Amino acid sequence: MGNMSYFVCRHRASNVPKTHASTIIPMNLDWLKTGISPLKDLLSFLLSESRTSDVRKKELLRELRNNLNIFHNGFRNEVSPDVIIDMLSNEAIRTAVSHNFSFKKLKAGKIEPYHIFDERNRKYQGWDAEKLVDKIDEKIEELKIIKKMNGNTVKGVSNNISLMLGNCYYRMKLLADFIRGPK
Model pLDDT, residue 8: 34
Mean pLDDT (whole number) for 62-87: 94
CB 118 within 8 A of CB 173: yes
pLDDT digits (tens, 9 = 90+) for 20-30: 333 333 444 45
For residue 42, the SS3 value is helix
Model pLDDT, residue 93: 97
Of the pLDDT bands very low, low, confident and very high (cuts 50, 70, 90), residue 19 is very low
Model pLDDT, residue 17: 39
Model pLDDT, residue 14: 37
pLDDT digits (tens, 9 = 90+) for 98-144: 999 999 999 999 999 999 998 999 999 999 999 999 999 999 999 99
Alpha helices in 19-54 (DSSP H): 33-49
Mean pLDDT (whole number) for 45-60: 84
Q: What is the pTM of this model?
A: 0.78
Model pLDDT, residue 12: 34
Q: Which residue has the higher pLDDT, 36 or 49?
A: 49
For the chain, the first-to-last Cα distance in angstroms comes to 43
